[in-house]
């Protein structure tokens, strides 16, 4: 297995901007408090098996529709809205409730993470971001153009497009955003992953501490097969451009499950428009490649199961 899977970030580095913004493990209470977010500060922890996510009209509408769709078993339960102080929040099921020392993986789905509207906006009203320019330069100083170097800024669309093309998003239809192990250590640097073989290695690493290794991998595989069937029959899926959404993989030593999360950039299509989710994106067709990513993950999981079974037979 590649050594970079073992170079975990120190536990005190708990900011995971695309998925995990805070985790606190209480040994006395044996309970986990987790906030899932697109950006730090978007969540509050609520007792009673709920988390509160800062209100987004688009996401609230998506969740409301999903509660009446075949995809309902695969998304967090939506309990409506609540106001806390000056802010409105979406009430969601805590997907980690009842799990002991959960292990978590966030996979960003699709062949692109930017909306077509962001592309149009970047052309007509470019807003340069110095923070995204710095992130780009940190990874690859040669990535910005001469003009971007001079301006010391890039548009959000330009950064997201570059991020997609330098990761497995463009090659496999998804990318691993991060993995948190049961001790709280986090691995976020998966930019080296571009092939199914590397994804398989990551999955073996992710499931390495499960008591029943192969059974849990099979549980993940079975859940994803069921999800794929539900997606085929989902009217919501046919009529939405699913951008920036993740598959959340969660397990402890006894059980494993997968959930669809994050719908803040999932756009409804015009009334007569539908998308297939399994064909390449070209500007204007609104395709997101969600099913391309799901097929890649299923293939990698099948390979991981075969390897794990071989290891068990060998011991």
The answer on 184 and 121 residing in a single domain is no
The answer on 279 and 196 residing in a single domain is yes
User: Would residue 13 count as lying in a domain?
Assistant: no
pLDDT band at 176 (very low <50, low <70, confident <90, very high): very high
The answer on 177 and 145 residing in a single domain is no
Specify the DSSP class assigned to residue 106.
E
User: Would residue 220 count as lying in a domain?
Assistant: yes
Phi, psi for residue 169 in degrees, rounded to 5 = -55, -50
Summarised one tens digit per residue, pLDDT across range 194-214 is 999 999 999 988 887 665 455
The answer on 134 and 251 residing in a single domain is no
User: Would residue 285 count as lying in a domain?
Assistant: yes
Count of structural domains, the chain: 2
Of 125, 153, 168, the residue that ends a domain is 168
The answer on 93 and 70 residing in a single domain is yes
User: Would residue 24 count as lying in a domain?
Assistant: no
The answer on 140 and 88 residing in a single domain is no
pLDDT above 90 covers a percentage of the chain that reads 56
The answer on 242 and 106 residing in a single domain is yes
Given a cut of 90, is residue 184 above it in pLDDT?
A: no
The answer on 137 and 158 residing in a single domain is yes
User: Would residue 5 count as lying in a domain?
Assistant: no
What pLDDT does residue 218 have?
86
The answer on 158 and 68 residing in a single domain is no
pLDDT band at 5 (very low <50, low <70, confident <90, very high): very low
User: Would residue 291 count as lying in a domain?
Assistant: yes
Given a cut of 60, is residue 75 above it in pLDDT?
A: yes
Residues in the chain, overall count: 315
The answer on 77 and 125 residing in a single domain is no
Specify whether the CB–CB gap between 272 and 248 falls below 8 A.
no
> What is the C-alpha separation between 50 and 32, in angstroms, rounded?
12
The answer on 149 and 282 residing in a single domain is no
What pLDDT does residue 290 have?
98
Range of the domain at 134: 116-168
> What is the C-alpha separation between 218 and 309, in angstroms, rounded?
11
Q: Measured between alpha carbons, how far is residue 210 from residues 33, 184, 244, 253 in Å?
A: 21, 16, 29, 5
Specify whether the CB–CB gap between 89 and 83 falls below 8 A.
yes
Q: Which of 69, 60, 48, 47 is nearest to 90 (CA)?
A: 60
User: Would residue 25 count as lying in a domain?
Assistant: no
Phi, psi for residue 40 in degrees, rounded to 5 = -60, 135
Summarised one tens digit per residue, pLDDT across range 126-175 is 899 999 999 999 989 999 999 999 999 999 889 999 999 999 999 999 99
CATH of the domain at 237: 3.30.470.160
| Minimum mean pLDDT range among 141-145, 216-220, 290-294 | 216-220
Helix 116-124 and helix 156-165, axial crossing angle in degrees, nearest 10:
130
In sequence order, the 6+-apart residues with CB closer than 8 A to the CB of 103 are: 179, 180, 181, 182, 206, 207, 209, 210, 250, 251, 252
Rounded mean pLDDT, 63-71: 98
Convert 16-41 into a string of H (helix), E (strand) and C (coil). CCCCEEEEEEECCCCEEEEEECCCCC
Q: Which of 164, 182, 161, 168 is nearest to 299 (CA)?
A: 168
> What is the C-alpha separation between 134 and 129, in angstroms, rounded?
9
The answer on 249 and 213 residing in a single domain is yes
CB neighbour burial string for 271-284, b if at least 16 within 10 angstroms, e if fewer = eeeebebbeebeee
């Amino acid at each position: 297995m590649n050594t970079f899977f073992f170079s975990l970030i120190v536990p005190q580095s708990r900011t995971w901007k695309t998925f995990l913004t805070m985790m606190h493990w209480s040994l006395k209470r044996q309970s986990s408090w987790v906030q899932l977010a697109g950006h730090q500060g978007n969540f509050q922890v609520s007792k009673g098996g709920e988390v509160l996510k800062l209100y987004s009209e688009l996401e609230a509408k998506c969740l409301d529709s999903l509660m009446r769709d075949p995809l309902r078993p695969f998304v967090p339960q939506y309990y409506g809205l609540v106001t806390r102080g000056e802010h409105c929040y979406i009430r969601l099921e805590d997907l980690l409730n009842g799990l002991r020392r959960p292990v978590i993986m966030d996979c960003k789905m699709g062949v692109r993470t930017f909306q077509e509207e962001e592309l149009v906006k970047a052309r007509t009203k470019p807003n340069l971001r110095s923070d995204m320019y710095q992130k780009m330069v940190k990874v690859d100083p040669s990535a910005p153009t001469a003009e971007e170097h001079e301006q010391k800024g890039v548009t959000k669309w330009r950064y997201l497009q570059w991020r997609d093309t330098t990761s497995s998003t463009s090659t496999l239809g998804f990318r691993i955003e991060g993995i948190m192990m049961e001790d709280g250590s986090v691995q976020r640097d998966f930019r080296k992953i571009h092939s199914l073989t590397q994804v398989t290695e990551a999955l073996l690493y992710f499931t390495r501490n499960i008591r029943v290794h192969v059974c849990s991998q099979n549980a993940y595989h079975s859940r994803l097969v069921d999800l794929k069937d539900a997606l085929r029959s989902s009217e919501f899926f046919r009529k939405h451009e699913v951008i920036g959404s993740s598959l959340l993989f969660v397990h402890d030593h006894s059980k494993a499950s997968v959930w669809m999360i994050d719908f803040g950039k999932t756009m409804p299509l015009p009334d007569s428009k539908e998308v297939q989710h399994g064909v390449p994106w070209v500007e204007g067709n609104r395709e997101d490649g969600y099913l391309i990513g799901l097929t890649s993950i299923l293939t990698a999981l099948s390979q991981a199961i075969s390897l794990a079974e071989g290891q068990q037979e060998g011991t």
